[in-house]
Chain A
Amino acid sequence: MRFLTWIDGAVRRLELALAVAAMLGVVTILSAQVFFRYVLLDPIFFAEEVALLLLIIATFAGLSLLVAEECLIGIDLVGPKLSPAARARLDLGMKLLTALISGALAVFAVSYVITPWVWFERFATVPLPRASLYTLVAIELCLATFHQVVLILKGVFDPTSQAAQ
Protein backbone atom coordinates (compact mmCIF):
# COMPACT_ATOMS: atom_id res chain seq x y z
CA MET A 1 0.00 0.00 0.00
CA ARG A 2 2.86 2.39 0.84
CA PHE A 3 4.41 1.87 -2.61
CA LEU A 4 1.07 2.51 -4.29
CA THR A 5 0.59 5.69 -2.26
CA TRP A 6 4.10 6.83 -3.25
CA ILE A 7 3.36 6.23 -6.95
CA ASP A 8 0.01 8.00 -6.58
CA GLY A 9 1.73 11.03 -5.00
CA ALA A 10 4.44 11.13 -7.66
CA VAL A 11 1.89 10.92 -10.49
CA ARG A 12 -0.16 13.63 -8.81
CA ARG A 13 2.85 15.97 -8.63
CA LEU A 14 3.67 15.29 -12.28
CA GLU A 15 0.11 16.02 -13.29
CA LEU A 16 0.07 19.21 -11.25
CA ALA A 17 3.28 20.34 -12.95
CA LEU A 18 1.80 19.52 -16.37
CA ALA A 19 -1.50 21.27 -15.62
CA VAL A 20 0.14 24.38 -14.15
CA ALA A 21 2.59 24.59 -17.06
CA ALA A 22 -0.26 24.21 -19.57
CA MET A 23 -2.41 26.81 -17.81
CA LEU A 24 0.53 29.19 -17.57
CA GLY A 25 1.00 28.62 -21.30
CA VAL A 26 -2.63 29.59 -21.93
CA VAL A 27 -2.28 32.81 -19.93
CA THR A 28 1.09 33.69 -21.47
CA ILE A 29 0.00 33.06 -25.06
CA LEU A 30 -3.22 35.05 -24.68
CA SER A 31 -1.47 37.94 -22.92
CA ALA A 32 1.24 37.93 -25.60
CA GLN A 33 -1.48 37.93 -28.23
CA VAL A 34 -2.88 41.19 -26.80
CA PHE A 35 0.61 42.75 -27.03
CA PHE A 36 1.32 41.43 -30.52
CA ARG A 37 -2.09 42.39 -31.90
CA TYR A 38 -2.45 45.87 -30.42
CA VAL A 39 1.11 47.05 -29.97
CA LEU A 40 3.04 45.32 -32.75
CA LEU A 41 -0.04 45.05 -35.01
CA ASP A 42 1.08 41.54 -35.94
CA PRO A 43 -1.11 38.88 -34.26
CA ILE A 44 0.26 35.42 -33.55
CA PHE A 45 -1.63 33.22 -36.02
CA PHE A 46 -1.41 30.03 -33.97
CA ALA A 47 -2.20 31.62 -30.58
CA GLU A 48 -5.83 30.52 -30.21
CA GLU A 49 -5.36 26.95 -31.39
CA VAL A 50 -2.32 26.38 -29.18
CA ALA A 51 -4.03 28.03 -26.21
CA LEU A 52 -7.08 25.82 -26.71
CA LEU A 53 -4.90 22.73 -26.96
CA LEU A 54 -3.13 23.65 -23.71
CA LEU A 55 -6.47 24.43 -22.04
CA ILE A 56 -7.78 20.95 -22.89
CA ILE A 57 -4.60 19.34 -21.53
CA ALA A 58 -4.85 21.42 -18.33
CA THR A 59 -8.56 20.59 -18.02
CA PHE A 60 -8.21 16.83 -18.15
CA ALA A 61 -5.08 16.85 -15.97
CA GLY A 62 -7.16 19.02 -13.63
CA LEU A 63 -9.99 16.45 -13.70
CA SER A 64 -7.53 13.75 -12.65
CA LEU A 65 -6.28 16.00 -9.81
CA LEU A 66 -9.86 16.73 -8.76
CA VAL A 67 -10.42 12.97 -8.47
CA ALA A 68 -7.12 12.46 -6.59
CA GLU A 69 -7.88 15.23 -4.12
CA GLU A 70 -11.55 14.26 -3.77
CA CYS A 71 -12.62 17.76 -4.80
CA LEU A 72 -15.35 16.78 -7.26
CA ILE A 73 -18.68 18.42 -6.51
CA GLY A 74 -21.58 16.13 -5.68
CA ILE A 75 -24.85 16.64 -3.84
CA ASP A 76 -25.12 14.35 -0.84
CA LEU A 77 -28.78 14.14 0.09
CA VAL A 78 -28.84 10.65 1.59
CA GLY A 79 -25.44 10.44 3.33
CA PRO A 80 -26.13 12.82 6.25
CA LYS A 81 -29.24 10.80 7.21
CA LEU A 82 -27.31 7.51 7.55
CA SER A 83 -25.38 6.00 10.45
CA PRO A 84 -21.55 6.40 10.23
CA ALA A 85 -21.09 2.76 9.20
CA ALA A 86 -23.77 2.95 6.50
CA ARG A 87 -22.34 6.25 5.29
CA ALA A 88 -18.87 4.72 4.97
CA ARG A 89 -20.37 1.90 2.89
CA LEU A 90 -22.21 4.41 0.69
CA ASP A 91 -19.00 6.43 0.19
CA LEU A 92 -17.17 3.26 -0.82
CA GLY A 93 -19.97 2.37 -3.22
CA MET A 94 -19.85 5.81 -4.85
CA LYS A 95 -16.07 5.61 -5.17
CA LEU A 96 -16.37 2.17 -6.80
CA LEU A 97 -18.99 3.52 -9.19
CA THR A 98 -16.85 6.57 -10.01
CA ALA A 99 -13.89 4.28 -10.73
CA LEU A 100 -16.10 2.12 -12.94
CA ILE A 101 -17.45 5.07 -14.95
CA SER A 102 -14.02 6.67 -15.18
CA GLY A 103 -12.54 3.33 -16.26
CA ALA A 104 -15.25 2.88 -18.90
CA LEU A 105 -14.48 6.29 -20.41
CA ALA A 106 -10.76 5.52 -20.30
CA VAL A 107 -11.39 2.25 -22.18
CA PHE A 108 -13.48 4.05 -24.83
CA ALA A 109 -10.74 6.67 -25.14
CA VAL A 110 -7.89 4.18 -25.48
CA SER A 111 -9.81 2.09 -28.02
CA TYR A 112 -10.33 5.30 -30.05
CA VAL A 113 -6.70 6.43 -30.08
CA ILE A 114 -5.35 2.98 -31.02
CA THR A 115 -7.43 3.06 -34.21
CA PRO A 116 -4.89 3.81 -36.98
CA TRP A 117 -7.03 6.09 -39.18
CA VAL A 118 -7.67 8.64 -36.41
CA TRP A 119 -3.98 9.67 -36.70
CA PHE A 120 -4.51 11.16 -40.16
CA GLU A 121 -6.45 14.22 -38.99
CA ARG A 122 -4.16 17.17 -38.17
CA PHE A 123 -4.47 20.52 -36.40
CA ALA A 124 -4.88 23.61 -38.58
CA THR A 125 -1.83 25.53 -37.37
CA VAL A 126 0.14 23.08 -35.22
CA PRO A 127 2.09 20.41 -37.15
CA LEU A 128 0.72 17.52 -35.08
CA PRO A 129 -2.03 14.92 -35.51
CA ARG A 130 -5.14 15.67 -33.47
CA ALA A 131 -4.91 12.16 -32.05
CA SER A 132 -1.85 13.27 -30.06
CA LEU A 133 -4.18 15.50 -28.01
CA TYR A 134 -6.69 12.66 -27.68
CA THR A 135 -3.87 10.38 -26.50
CA LEU A 136 -2.94 12.81 -23.74
CA VAL A 137 -6.59 13.06 -22.71
CA ALA A 138 -6.88 9.25 -22.73
CA ILE A 139 -3.79 9.00 -20.50
CA GLU A 140 -5.30 11.52 -18.09
CA LEU A 141 -8.56 9.55 -17.99
CA CYS A 142 -6.58 6.39 -17.17
CA LEU A 143 -4.74 8.28 -14.42
CA ALA A 144 -8.02 9.59 -12.99
CA THR A 145 -9.19 5.97 -12.77
CA PHE A 146 -5.89 5.00 -11.13
CA HIS A 147 -6.28 7.74 -8.49
CA GLN A 148 -9.81 6.61 -7.76
CA VAL A 149 -8.71 2.98 -7.36
CA VAL A 150 -5.92 4.07 -4.99
CA LEU A 151 -8.46 6.02 -2.94
CA ILE A 152 -10.67 2.93 -2.72
CA LEU A 153 -7.73 0.72 -1.68
CA LYS A 154 -6.66 3.28 0.91
CA GLY A 155 -10.20 3.36 2.29
CA VAL A 156 -10.26 -0.44 2.59
CA PHE A 157 -6.72 -1.20 3.78
CA ASP A 158 -5.65 2.03 5.47
CA PRO A 159 -8.83 3.80 6.66
CA THR A 160 -6.98 5.89 9.30
CA SER A 161 -4.74 7.68 6.78
CA GLN A 162 -7.77 8.19 4.52
CA ALA A 163 -9.72 9.78 7.37
CA ALA A 164 -6.75 11.97 8.28
CA GLN A 165 -6.58 13.19 4.67
Chain B
Amino acid sequence: MITLVTFAVLLCLGLPIVYLLLASSIVFTLEVGVVALFDSFLVQSVRGVEATGFLAIPLYILVGEIMNRSGITERLIRSAMRLVGSMRGGLAYVNVLTNAFCAAILGSATAQIAIMSRSMVPEMAKHGYDRSFATGLTVTTGLLGPIIPPSMLMIIYGVLAYQSVAALFVAGFLPGLLLVIAFFATIFMSRKRLPDSSDVPVLSFALKDIGLDALPALIPATIIAGIISGVMTPTEAGALAAIVSLVISVGVFRSLKLADFVPVMKAVVLSSAAIITLIAFATLLGWVLAYQGIPDLLATAIADFSAGPISFLLLVCLVVFILGMFLDGIGVMIVIVPVLLPVAAAFDVDPIHFGVVISIATLTGLISPPVGPGLYIAMDATGLKMKPIVLGTLPFLGAFLVCLLVILLLPELSTALPSFLGL
Protein backbone atom coordinates (compact mmCIF):
# COMPACT_ATOMS: atom_id res chain seq x y z
CA MET B 1 0.00 0.00 0.00
CA ILE B 2 2.82 2.41 0.93
CA THR B 3 4.50 1.56 -2.38
CA LEU B 4 1.33 2.29 -4.34
CA VAL B 5 0.82 5.67 -2.62
CA THR B 6 4.51 6.56 -3.11
CA PHE B 7 4.26 5.59 -6.76
CA ALA B 8 1.15 7.72 -7.34
CA VAL B 9 2.48 10.77 -5.48
CA LEU B 10 5.92 10.74 -7.14
CA LEU B 11 4.35 10.16 -10.56
CA CYS B 12 2.14 13.25 -10.15
CA LEU B 13 5.08 15.30 -8.89
CA GLY B 14 7.00 14.55 -12.09
CA LEU B 15 9.75 12.16 -10.98
CA PRO B 16 11.31 10.64 -14.14
CA ILE B 17 9.69 7.28 -14.93
CA VAL B 18 12.91 5.24 -14.73
CA TYR B 19 13.61 6.59 -11.25
CA LEU B 20 9.95 6.14 -10.32
CA LEU B 21 10.28 2.40 -11.04
CA LEU B 22 13.50 2.29 -9.05
CA ALA B 23 11.98 4.24 -6.14
CA SER B 24 8.98 1.87 -6.09
CA SER B 25 11.35 -1.13 -5.97
CA ILE B 26 13.28 0.40 -3.07
CA VAL B 27 10.14 1.42 -1.13
CA PHE B 28 8.53 -2.01 -1.65
CA THR B 29 11.71 -3.76 -0.46
CA LEU B 30 11.75 -1.57 2.65
CA GLU B 31 7.99 -2.10 3.16
CA VAL B 32 8.32 -5.90 3.19
CA GLY B 33 11.54 -5.64 5.19
CA VAL B 34 13.73 -7.92 3.06
CA VAL B 35 16.71 -5.59 2.63
CA ALA B 36 18.86 -8.49 1.40
CA LEU B 37 17.14 -7.96 -1.97
CA PHE B 38 19.17 -4.76 -2.39
CA ASP B 39 22.28 -6.92 -2.96
CA SER B 40 20.77 -8.19 -6.21
CA PHE B 41 19.43 -4.89 -7.58
CA LEU B 42 22.38 -4.42 -9.95
CA VAL B 43 22.34 -7.97 -11.30
CA GLN B 44 18.55 -8.04 -11.74
CA SER B 45 18.57 -4.70 -13.59
CA VAL B 46 21.34 -5.81 -15.96
CA ARG B 47 19.90 -9.31 -16.49
CA GLY B 48 16.56 -7.73 -17.39
CA VAL B 49 18.10 -6.37 -20.58
CA GLU B 50 20.45 -9.26 -21.29
CA ALA B 51 18.33 -10.81 -24.04
CA THR B 52 19.61 -10.97 -27.59
CA GLY B 53 16.18 -9.91 -28.86
CA PHE B 54 16.76 -6.44 -27.41
CA LEU B 55 19.72 -5.96 -29.76
CA ALA B 56 17.16 -5.13 -32.44
CA ILE B 57 16.02 -2.00 -30.57
CA PRO B 58 19.02 0.29 -31.32
CA LEU B 59 19.13 -0.98 -34.90
CA TYR B 60 15.54 0.03 -35.66
CA ILE B 61 16.09 3.34 -33.84
CA LEU B 62 19.17 3.91 -36.04
CA VAL B 63 17.13 3.21 -39.18
CA GLY B 64 14.47 5.70 -38.03
CA GLU B 65 17.07 8.31 -37.11
CA ILE B 66 18.92 8.05 -40.43
CA MET B 67 15.73 8.23 -42.44
CA ASN B 68 14.34 11.08 -40.35
CA ARG B 69 17.46 13.17 -40.97
CA SER B 70 17.21 12.38 -44.68
CA GLY B 71 13.89 14.19 -44.96
CA ILE B 72 11.95 10.96 -45.19
CA THR B 73 8.80 12.51 -43.69
CA GLU B 74 8.45 14.96 -46.60
CA ARG B 75 9.00 12.14 -49.11
CA LEU B 76 6.43 9.93 -47.43
CA ILE B 77 3.94 12.81 -47.32
CA ARG B 78 4.49 13.40 -51.06
CA SER B 79 4.00 9.69 -51.81
CA ALA B 80 0.78 9.65 -49.78
CA MET B 81 -0.41 12.86 -51.48
CA ARG B 82 -0.03 11.24 -54.90
CA LEU B 83 -2.22 8.35 -53.73
CA VAL B 84 -5.01 10.06 -51.79
CA GLY B 85 -4.32 13.81 -51.81
CA SER B 86 -6.95 14.68 -54.41
CA MET B 87 -9.92 13.44 -52.35
CA ARG B 88 -12.08 15.76 -50.23
CA GLY B 89 -10.30 15.99 -46.88
CA GLY B 90 -7.28 14.69 -48.77
CA LEU B 91 -4.72 15.85 -46.21
CA ALA B 92 -6.48 13.86 -43.50
CA TYR B 93 -6.12 10.68 -45.59
CA VAL B 94 -2.53 11.71 -46.37
CA ASN B 95 -1.92 11.98 -42.62
CA VAL B 96 -3.16 8.41 -42.02
CA LEU B 97 -1.23 6.95 -44.96
CA THR B 98 2.00 8.80 -44.06
CA ASN B 99 1.67 7.51 -40.51
CA ALA B 100 1.22 3.96 -41.84
CA PHE B 101 4.34 4.35 -44.04
CA CYS B 102 6.27 5.85 -41.13
CA ALA B 103 5.13 2.98 -38.90
CA ALA B 104 6.81 0.56 -41.29
CA ILE B 105 10.12 2.34 -40.65
CA LEU B 106 10.03 3.83 -37.14
CA GLY B 107 8.28 1.30 -34.88
CA SER B 108 7.66 3.73 -32.01
CA ALA B 109 4.43 5.63 -31.35
CA THR B 110 5.97 8.46 -29.35
CA ALA B 111 8.66 9.13 -32.00
CA GLN B 112 6.00 9.08 -34.68
CA ILE B 113 3.63 11.42 -32.81
CA ALA B 114 6.50 13.88 -32.24
CA ILE B 115 7.59 13.86 -35.90
CA MET B 116 4.13 13.92 -37.45
CA SER B 117 2.72 16.56 -35.07
CA ARG B 118 5.47 18.93 -36.22
CA SER B 119 5.07 18.21 -39.94
CA MET B 120 1.42 17.33 -40.61
CA VAL B 121 -0.50 19.52 -38.15
CA PRO B 122 0.85 22.90 -39.42
CA GLU B 123 0.32 21.75 -43.02
CA MET B 124 -3.29 20.73 -42.33
CA ALA B 125 -3.97 23.94 -40.37
CA LYS B 126 -2.58 25.95 -43.30
CA HIS B 127 -5.16 24.31 -45.59
CA GLY B 128 -8.11 25.12 -43.35
CA TYR B 129 -8.36 22.04 -41.13
CA ASP B 130 -9.39 22.53 -37.53
CA ARG B 131 -6.19 22.25 -35.42
CA SER B 132 -7.93 20.15 -32.80
CA PHE B 133 -9.08 17.67 -35.49
CA ALA B 134 -5.63 17.63 -37.16
CA THR B 135 -3.78 17.05 -33.88
CA GLY B 136 -6.28 14.44 -32.66
CA LEU B 137 -5.95 12.56 -35.93
CA THR B 138 -2.14 12.76 -35.88
CA VAL B 139 -1.91 11.57 -32.27
CA THR B 140 -4.22 8.60 -32.82
CA THR B 141 -2.75 7.50 -36.15
CA GLY B 142 0.69 7.75 -34.53
CA LEU B 143 -0.36 4.65 -32.60
CA LEU B 144 0.10 2.64 -35.80
CA GLY B 145 3.87 2.84 -35.10
CA PRO B 146 4.11 -0.15 -32.77
CA ILE B 147 1.46 -2.21 -34.62
CA ILE B 148 2.69 -2.22 -38.20
CA PRO B 149 6.05 -4.03 -38.28
CA PRO B 150 8.77 -3.39 -37.14
CA SER B 151 7.61 -2.70 -33.60
CA MET B 152 9.51 -2.08 -30.35
CA LEU B 153 6.59 -3.37 -28.27
CA MET B 154 6.47 -6.62 -30.26
CA ILE B 155 10.24 -7.10 -29.79
CA ILE B 156 9.85 -6.64 -26.04
CA TYR B 157 6.79 -8.92 -25.87
CA GLY B 158 8.61 -11.55 -27.95
CA VAL B 159 11.55 -11.57 -25.54
CA LEU B 160 9.35 -11.64 -22.44
CA ALA B 161 6.98 -14.32 -23.73
CA TYR B 162 9.62 -16.43 -25.54
CA GLN B 163 7.72 -15.99 -28.81
CA SER B 164 9.10 -15.53 -32.31
CA VAL B 165 9.56 -11.80 -32.92
CA ALA B 166 9.28 -12.53 -36.66
CA ALA B 167 5.83 -14.10 -36.13
CA LEU B 168 4.79 -11.12 -33.99
CA PHE B 169 5.95 -8.64 -36.63
CA VAL B 170 3.89 -10.42 -39.28
CA ALA B 171 0.94 -10.78 -36.86
CA GLY B 172 0.70 -6.99 -36.59
CA PHE B 173 0.20 -6.53 -40.31
CA LEU B 174 -3.55 -7.30 -40.67
CA PRO B 175 -4.57 -5.48 -37.45
CA GLY B 176 -2.54 -2.50 -38.72
CA LEU B 177 -4.36 -2.62 -42.04
CA LEU B 178 -7.71 -2.85 -40.24
CA LEU B 179 -6.85 0.27 -38.24
CA VAL B 180 -5.86 2.19 -41.38
CA ILE B 181 -9.23 1.27 -42.96
CA ALA B 182 -11.06 2.28 -39.76
CA PHE B 183 -9.29 5.67 -39.69
CA PHE B 184 -10.13 6.19 -43.37
CA ALA B 185 -13.78 5.36 -42.64
CA THR B 186 -13.85 7.82 -39.70
CA ILE B 187 -12.46 10.59 -41.93
CA PHE B 188 -14.97 9.71 -44.63
CA MET B 189 -17.82 10.00 -42.12
CA SER B 190 -16.68 13.48 -41.09
CA ARG B 191 -15.92 14.63 -44.67
CA LYS B 192 -18.58 17.37 -44.61
CA ARG B 193 -16.63 19.20 -41.90
CA LEU B 194 -13.39 18.94 -43.87
CA PRO B 195 -12.10 21.47 -46.39
CA ASP B 196 -11.85 20.76 -50.09
CA SER B 197 -8.32 19.83 -51.15
CA SER B 198 -8.25 22.00 -54.28
CA ASP B 199 -5.45 24.17 -52.84
CA VAL B 200 -3.22 21.20 -51.98
CA PRO B 201 0.00 21.55 -53.99
CA VAL B 202 0.02 19.64 -57.29
CA LEU B 203 2.87 17.16 -57.30
CA SER B 204 5.05 15.93 -60.11
CA PHE B 205 4.02 12.54 -61.45
CA ALA B 206 7.33 12.08 -63.29
CA LEU B 207 8.56 8.54 -62.86
CA LYS B 208 11.88 9.71 -61.41
CA ASP B 209 10.20 11.80 -58.68
CA ILE B 210 7.75 9.02 -57.83
CA GLY B 211 10.63 6.55 -57.66
CA LEU B 212 12.78 8.77 -55.44
CA ASP B 213 9.92 9.48 -53.02
CA ALA B 214 9.04 5.77 -52.88
CA LEU B 215 12.65 4.69 -52.31
CA PRO B 216 12.34 4.59 -48.47
CA ALA B 217 9.91 1.67 -49.03
CA LEU B 218 13.04 -0.43 -49.61
CA ILE B 219 13.66 -0.38 -45.86
CA PRO B 220 10.44 -2.06 -44.68
CA ALA B 221 10.68 -4.29 -47.76
CA THR B 222 14.15 -5.44 -46.61
CA ILE B 223 12.90 -6.07 -43.09
CA ILE B 224 9.72 -7.89 -44.08
CA ALA B 225 11.31 -9.93 -46.89
CA GLY B 226 14.24 -10.93 -44.66
CA ILE B 227 11.97 -12.03 -41.84
CA ILE B 228 9.18 -13.67 -43.87
CA SER B 229 11.61 -15.68 -45.97
CA GLY B 230 12.99 -17.07 -42.73
CA VAL B 231 16.49 -16.17 -43.84
CA MET B 232 17.10 -13.56 -41.14
CA THR B 233 16.27 -12.94 -37.52
CA PRO B 234 14.61 -9.58 -36.76
CA THR B 235 17.96 -8.36 -35.36
CA GLU B 236 19.81 -9.26 -38.56
CA ALA B 237 17.03 -7.71 -40.66
CA GLY B 238 17.42 -4.55 -38.56
CA ALA B 239 21.19 -4.53 -39.23
CA LEU B 240 20.61 -4.94 -42.96
CA ALA B 241 17.91 -2.23 -42.92
CA ALA B 242 20.41 0.10 -41.21
CA ILE B 243 22.90 -0.52 -44.02
CA VAL B 244 20.21 0.00 -46.69
CA SER B 245 19.03 3.25 -45.06
CA LEU B 246 22.64 4.48 -44.87
CA VAL B 247 23.19 3.69 -48.56
CA ILE B 248 19.94 5.48 -49.53
CA SER B 249 20.69 8.57 -47.38
CA VAL B 250 24.36 8.94 -48.30
CA GLY B 251 24.42 7.49 -51.80
CA VAL B 252 21.06 8.49 -53.29
CA PHE B 253 19.55 11.40 -51.34
CA ARG B 254 23.01 12.77 -50.37
CA SER B 255 21.35 14.24 -47.30
CA LEU B 256 23.55 12.72 -44.61
CA LYS B 257 27.03 14.21 -44.13
CA LEU B 258 29.98 13.04 -42.06
CA ALA B 259 29.22 15.85 -39.61
CA ASP B 260 25.84 14.19 -38.91
CA PHE B 261 27.52 11.03 -37.65
CA VAL B 262 27.91 12.00 -33.97
CA PRO B 263 24.44 13.63 -33.64
CA VAL B 264 22.83 10.55 -35.22
CA MET B 265 24.70 8.14 -32.96
CA LYS B 266 24.05 10.32 -29.91
CA ALA B 267 20.32 10.31 -30.69
CA VAL B 268 20.44 6.51 -31.05
CA VAL B 269 22.28 6.16 -27.72
CA LEU B 270 19.85 8.41 -25.85
CA SER B 271 16.69 6.89 -27.36
CA SER B 272 17.94 3.32 -26.81
CA ALA B 273 19.02 4.14 -23.26
CA ALA B 274 15.60 5.66 -22.49
CA ILE B 275 13.86 2.46 -23.63
CA ILE B 276 16.32 -0.12 -22.34
CA THR B 277 16.78 1.40 -18.86
CA LEU B 278 13.00 1.41 -18.60
CA ILE B 279 13.10 -2.34 -19.36
CA ALA B 280 15.90 -2.82 -16.80
CA PHE B 281 14.13 -1.06 -13.93
CA ALA B 282 10.66 -2.39 -14.80
CA THR B 283 12.19 -5.89 -14.70
CA LEU B 284 13.67 -5.05 -11.31
CA LEU B 285 10.26 -3.91 -10.02
CA GLY B 286 8.64 -7.06 -11.44
CA TRP B 287 11.27 -9.19 -9.68
CA VAL B 288 10.81 -7.42 -6.34
CA LEU B 289 7.02 -7.77 -6.59
CA ALA B 290 7.38 -11.44 -7.55
CA TYR B 291 9.37 -12.04 -4.35
CA GLN B 292 6.19 -11.34 -2.37
CA GLY B 293 3.94 -13.18 -4.85
CA ILE B 294 2.06 -10.01 -5.87
CA PRO B 295 1.91 -11.01 -9.57
CA ASP B 296 0.40 -14.38 -8.62
CA LEU B 297 -2.29 -12.61 -6.60
CA LEU B 298 -3.10 -10.35 -9.55
CA ALA B 299 -3.14 -13.29 -11.96
CA THR B 300 -5.43 -15.28 -9.65
CA ALA B 301 -7.78 -12.31 -9.25
CA ILE B 302 -8.03 -11.80 -13.02
CA ALA B 303 -8.46 -15.54 -13.62
CA ASP B 304 -11.23 -15.68 -10.97
CA PHE B 305 -13.09 -12.80 -12.58
CA SER B 306 -12.86 -14.27 -16.07
CA ALA B 307 -15.45 -16.71 -17.37
CA GLY B 308 -13.59 -17.53 -20.58
CA PRO B 309 -10.91 -16.32 -22.98
CA ILE B 310 -12.94 -13.34 -24.22
CA SER B 311 -13.77 -12.00 -20.77
CA PHE B 312 -10.16 -12.65 -19.75
CA LEU B 313 -8.84 -10.62 -22.67
CA LEU B 314 -11.36 -7.84 -21.99
CA LEU B 315 -10.26 -7.70 -18.37
CA VAL B 316 -6.60 -7.66 -19.42
CA CYS B 317 -7.35 -4.76 -21.78
CA LEU B 318 -9.01 -2.87 -18.93
CA VAL B 319 -6.07 -3.47 -16.56
CA VAL B 320 -3.56 -2.54 -19.26
CA PHE B 321 -5.55 0.58 -20.15
CA ILE B 322 -5.63 1.73 -16.53
CA LEU B 323 -1.94 0.97 -15.97
CA GLY B 324 -1.09 2.55 -19.32
CA MET B 325 -2.55 5.85 -18.13
CA PHE B 326 0.13 6.05 -15.46
CA LEU B 327 3.04 4.01 -16.78
CA ASP B 328 4.91 3.81 -20.05
CA GLY B 329 3.71 1.03 -22.39
CA ILE B 330 7.01 -0.84 -22.05
CA GLY B 331 6.76 -0.72 -18.26
CA VAL B 332 3.18 -2.04 -18.39
CA MET B 333 4.23 -4.87 -20.65
CA ILE B 334 7.16 -5.93 -18.48
CA VAL B 335 5.07 -5.98 -15.32
CA ILE B 336 2.00 -7.61 -16.93
CA VAL B 337 3.24 -10.16 -19.50
CA PRO B 338 5.12 -12.59 -17.22
CA VAL B 339 2.14 -12.49 -14.84
CA LEU B 340 -0.69 -12.99 -17.29
CA LEU B 341 0.86 -15.18 -19.96
CA PRO B 342 0.37 -18.41 -17.96
CA VAL B 343 -3.26 -17.40 -17.31
CA ALA B 344 -3.70 -16.72 -21.05
CA ALA B 345 -2.30 -20.19 -21.77
CA ALA B 346 -4.74 -21.69 -19.27
CA PHE B 347 -7.58 -20.02 -21.18
CA ASP B 348 -6.18 -21.37 -24.49
CA VAL B 349 -5.41 -17.89 -25.79
CA ASP B 350 -2.81 -18.04 -28.56
CA PRO B 351 0.37 -16.29 -27.30
CA ILE B 352 0.79 -14.42 -30.60
CA HIS B 353 -2.82 -13.20 -30.43
CA PHE B 354 -2.30 -12.27 -26.78
CA GLY B 355 0.81 -10.28 -27.77
CA VAL B 356 -1.03 -8.34 -30.47
CA VAL B 357 -4.00 -7.59 -28.18
CA ILE B 358 -1.83 -6.51 -25.26
CA SER B 359 0.36 -4.33 -27.52
CA ILE B 360 -2.65 -2.52 -28.96
CA ALA B 361 -4.35 -2.20 -25.57
CA THR B 362 -1.17 -0.71 -24.12
CA LEU B 363 -1.26 2.01 -26.77
CA THR B 364 -4.65 3.31 -25.64
CA GLY B 365 -2.99 4.49 -22.41
CA LEU B 366 -0.58 6.57 -24.46
CA ILE B 367 -3.34 8.96 -25.50
CA SER B 368 -5.61 8.78 -22.46
CA PRO B 369 -5.73 11.68 -20.00
CA PRO B 370 -4.59 12.61 -17.43
CA VAL B 371 -1.15 11.13 -18.02
CA GLY B 372 -1.13 9.92 -21.67
CA PRO B 373 2.42 10.80 -22.81
CA GLY B 374 1.31 11.00 -26.47
CA LEU B 375 -0.95 13.93 -25.56
CA TYR B 376 1.93 15.77 -23.88
CA ILE B 377 4.17 15.25 -26.91
CA ALA B 378 1.45 16.68 -29.18
CA MET B 379 0.86 19.59 -26.77
CA ASP B 380 4.56 20.39 -26.90
CA ALA B 381 4.70 20.12 -30.69
CA THR B 382 1.53 22.04 -31.53
CA GLY B 383 1.11 24.45 -28.62
CA LEU B 384 -2.50 23.31 -28.10
CA LYS B 385 -3.93 22.57 -24.65
CA MET B 386 -4.90 19.04 -23.64
CA LYS B 387 -8.69 19.51 -23.91
CA PRO B 388 -8.88 20.34 -27.66
CA ILE B 389 -6.43 17.53 -28.44
CA VAL B 390 -8.50 15.03 -26.45
CA LEU B 391 -11.67 16.22 -28.20
CA GLY B 392 -9.93 15.82 -31.55
CA THR B 393 -8.82 12.28 -30.75
CA LEU B 394 -12.29 11.08 -29.65
CA PRO B 395 -13.70 9.89 -33.03
CA PHE B 396 -10.44 8.18 -33.94
CA LEU B 397 -9.97 6.71 -30.47
CA GLY B 398 -13.50 5.31 -30.87
CA ALA B 399 -12.49 3.69 -34.16
CA PHE B 400 -9.30 2.40 -32.50
CA LEU B 401 -11.28 0.79 -29.66
CA VAL B 402 -13.77 -0.81 -32.06
CA CYS B 403 -10.81 -2.30 -33.98
CA LEU B 404 -9.27 -3.52 -30.72
CA LEU B 405 -12.54 -5.30 -29.94
CA VAL B 406 -12.64 -6.87 -33.43
CA ILE B 407 -9.00 -7.99 -33.13
CA LEU B 408 -9.74 -9.37 -29.66
CA LEU B 409 -12.78 -11.32 -30.90
CA LEU B 410 -11.11 -12.61 -34.08
CA PRO B 411 -7.78 -14.25 -33.18
CA GLU B 412 -7.36 -15.23 -36.85
CA LEU B 413 -6.62 -11.59 -37.68
CA SER B 414 -3.40 -11.94 -35.70
CA THR B 415 -2.60 -15.61 -36.18
CA ALA B 416 -3.58 -16.38 -39.79
CA LEU B 417 -0.68 -14.64 -41.51
CA PRO B 418 2.10 -16.09 -39.29
CA SER B 419 0.56 -19.59 -39.63
CA PHE B 420 0.22 -19.19 -43.41
CA LEU B 421 3.89 -18.19 -43.64
CA GLY B 422 4.95 -21.00 -41.32
CA LEU B 423 6.42 -18.66 -38.69
Contacts and interface: CB of A to CB of B under 8 A. Distances in A.
A163 to B, nearest CB: 18
Given A26-B55, A26-B58, A59-B49, A111 B39 contact: yes
A34 B239 CA distance: 8
A77 B38 contact: no
B376 A101 contact: no
A102 B49 CA distance: 19
Contacts of B39: 108, 111-112
A79 B14 contact: yes
Contact of A62 (B62, B236, B273): B273
Contact of B14 (A31, A78, A137): A78
Interface string A44-67: 000010011001101111110110
B54 A74 contact: no
- Closest 10 A-B residue pairs measured CB to CB? A62-B273, A72-B16, A76-B14, A30-B239, A109-B42, A74-B16, A19-B269, A59-B276, A20-B265, A108-B41
A112 B39 CA distance: 6
Given A26-B55, A111-B39, A134-B46, A62 B269 contact: yes
A149 interface: no
Nearest to A22: B269
Given A34-B236, A59-B272, A138-B42, A27 B58 contact: yes
Contacts of B314: none
Contacts of B14: 74-79, 90, 94
B11 A101 contact: no
Given A27-B58, A52-B52, A52-B55, A75 B41 contact: no
22 contacts: A16-B269, A19-B269, A19-B273, A23-B272, A27-B242, A30-B55, A30-B238, A48-B52, A56-B49, A63-B273, A73-B373, A74-B14, A74-B15, A75-B17, A77-B14, A98-B15, A101-B19, A105-B42, A112-B43, A133-B46, A137-B42, A137-B46
Nearest to A87: B14
Contact of A75 (B11, B19, B52, B54): B11
Contacts of A77: 11-14, 370-371
Interface string B282-314: 000000000000000000000000000000000
A94 B243 CA distance: 41
Interface in B327-369: 328
Contact of B262 (A20, A74, A76): A20
Interface in A109-165: 109, 111-113, 133-134, 137-138
A34 B241 CA distance: 11
Q: In terms of DSSP, what is the predominant structure of the interface of chain A?
A: helix
Among B26, B42, B49, B274, which residue has the most Cβ atoms of chain A within 10 A? Answer: B42
Interface residues on A, range: 35 or more
B319 interface: no
A26 B13 CA distance: 36
A20 B42 contact: no
Contacts of B384: none
A58 B371 contact: no
Q: In terms of DSSP, what is the predominant structure of the interface of chain B?
A: helix
Given A16-B266, A23-B268, A65 B273 contact: yes
A58 B42 contact: no
Given A55-B54, A63-B18, A73-B328, 12 more contacts: A20-B266, A24-B265, A27-B62, A31-B243, A34-B236, A59-B49, A62-B276, A73-B16, A73-B17, A133-B46, A134-B46, A137-B46
Interface in B189-234: 231-232
Contact of B376 (A75, A78, A105): A75
A104 interface: yes
A6 interface: no
A88 interface: no
B322 interface: no
Contacts of A55: 49, 54-55, 58, 272, 276
Nearest to B12: A77
A79 B280 CA distance: 28
B185 interface: no
B273 A27 contact: no
Nearest to A134: B42
Contact of A58 (B16, B238, B269, B274): B269
Nearest to A111: B39
B269 A65 contact: yes
Nearest to B62: A27
B236 A51 contact: no
B330 to A, nearest CB: 11
